[in-house]
A and B are shown apart, each in its own frame.
Chain A
């Protein structure tokens, strides 16, 4: 038995980087190195109960209320595997084009840690439930090749090494140190509600040859993996809640070299955006170390959302020997063909076919579709359309104003405090003429700020378009009187000059007028006289 490559125990090595070494710029990295990346993604399944016991698999309950002898590791308690979790794992495997093992076992991974009640984790070792799959990942097509041509969106096939099942650990609260960190804490408080929640780990094979697009590829893979799993309905896949967690392996191979470099594993990557940032920052850091003539230490690193940097997580690591052996308390899984086939029939329309269909329905170009995919907006747009918006409008909101706000706040689109239904409602107000574009953006802003439903925001902020022609008429008359010269130009046939008058009216009505109506009123008055 040899551990899978990602689990090879690491002997402690002298820390070469005692003095800080300046990272290289990304361009410098690309000039000298070819990155090799790999992703290990943990998905918390959305089953009702835990992996091996009947406790609720719930998020956010009072601490230690969903615990029983099994998930608390009490003496004598025995695990029994959750059928729905096994089926979910097989579904994920099938959706990722994997082979399903005809026979496989659970294994114990032995190590001591207080958030793990048995001091071993039930996992799978050299017999994963699903193996040898792939996911075709589409990349946004905004890069330019060396001849200056805009590249068409490309597709990268990510090979999946394995999909296996395991149980989650509890959660520790570190007390007495600075801001809840483990360093400097005087003690920790452990909640085992999460212990035993079913996890599926999806491990890619090393991804090579992506060059400067490696960070983008990592993000695109994570995004599309999330979409695939969400479509299966087996998990809510929320990175910010920890139901999807990505560990990113990165190494650099000097261009021309035949062997891969030493890899690091970056943990604590808590958003899709961070997946990209973590790869980029780790590439730059490693290049700095290598260029200084120092070797890379194989280690776990932690990504920091605030700085966008990784730091060594090695402080308490040591030569680890997990002493895997087949779990004697659980019998092997042997999914029969009929069972797997029946699960295959439950697969929703997936990835390639579904995306092709949506692209046609929504009337998007390849480039537009790639942008939608890259932003992780497929489900959001679909839901917005389902709530009554047109495809064009839904795409415009999510990739325009909302993407801008998400980016400014450093969150994913789905992390924004607005639902597709609310977006559709705002648009309906626009379509009815109650809001113009500017007011609609303000309504969105209000919803995001937690001021309520779009209707409430519009009422509270007084955003309604001024469509009362008497009020508008007065404003128009005032504008004409104040801008006699411009008015004359319009009367002389220079219709374009009316824009200045429209602007003046909009200013006096604080933007709450419909520009088209104002324009019509101005032209009526000036041609009539």
Chain B
């Protein structure tokens, strides 16, 4: 398994919408490299025929009836929002100004 570079960390931070500072990038690059090399041992443990466990307890077909439940009060919800307008959540421009 490869080591992780500062550029990769920057790319991952962007994917995760984290505007990390240069200092954070430096720290994280070193720390993540240590962490990833520590967990690298995992690569050789399990054979191909081992099925992955995604759920600790095996259940299937947990479904609910198509019955209406309670919705929230809009005013309560919008009051907790950073910005609202006309019964809707107000969010900043989706595209940059120059786009």
Contacts and interface: CB of A to CB of B under 8 A. Distances in A.
Interface of A: 47-49, 53-56, 62-69, 72, 80-86, 103, 105, 112, 114, 172-174, 176, 182-183, 185-192, 315-316, 321, 323, 326, 328, 330-335
Interface in B57-74: 59-72, 74
B74 A65 contact: yes
B78 A185 contact: no
Contact of A68 (B65, B69, B94): B69
Nearest to A186: B93
B89 to A, nearest CB: 4
Contacts of A190: 88-91
Contacts of B78: 64
B23 interface: no
Contacts of B90: 187-190
Interface in B69-89: 69-72, 74, 77-78, 85-89
Interface residues of B, number: 33
A63 B86 CA distance: 9
A323 B17 CA distance: 14
B60 A103 contact: yes
A179 to B, nearest CB: 15
A128 B2 CA distance: 32
A56 B54 contact: no
Chain B CB within 10 Å — which of A105, A176, A190, A334 has the most? Answer: A190
Contacts of B91: 114, 172, 187-190
A67 B72 CA distance: 6
A68 B88 contact: no
Contacts of B68: 48-49, 54-56
B87 A68 contact: no
A56 B93 CA distance: 29
A63 B54 contact: no
B19 interface: no
Given A189-B89, A190-B88, A316-B94, A80 B66 contact: no
B66 A64 contact: no
Contacts of A114: 89, 91, 94
Question: Which 9 A-B pairs give the minimum distances between C-beta atoms?
Answer: A54-B69, A84-B66, A189-B88, A83-B63, A334-B60, A331-B59, A326-B54, A190-B89, A63-B87
Nearest to A85: B66
Nearest to A66: B71
20 contacts: A49-B66, A54-B69, A56-B68, A62-B74, A63-B88, A65-B74, A67-B72, A72-B77, A80-B62, A81-B62, A81-B63, A83-B63, A83-B65, A86-B63, A176-B93, A183-B99, A187-B91, A189-B89, A190-B90, A321-B15
Contacts of A191: 87-89
A332 B70 CA distance: 26
Contacts of B89: 64, 114, 189-192
Given A62-B87, A112-B17, A67 B60 contact: no
Chain A CB within 10 Å — which of B54, B66, B88 has the most? Answer: B66
A43 to B, nearest CB: 16
B19 to A, nearest CB: 13
B61 A64 contact: no
B72 A72 contact: yes
Contacts of B88: 63-64, 173, 189-191
A185 B94 contact: yes
A56 B71 contact: yes
Contact of A331 (B61, B65, B69): B61
A187 B96 CA distance: 10
A185 B55 CA distance: 43
B54 A334 contact: no
B43 interface: no
Contacts of B77: 64, 67, 72
Chain B CB within 10 Å — which of A54, A69, A84, A328 has the most? Answer: A54
Contacts of A84: 65-66
Given A174-B94, A316-B95, 14 more contacts: A49-B69, A54-B71, A63-B74, A67-B74, A68-B72, A81-B62, A81-B64, A83-B65, A84-B66, A114-B94, A183-B99, A315-B95, A323-B15, A331-B59
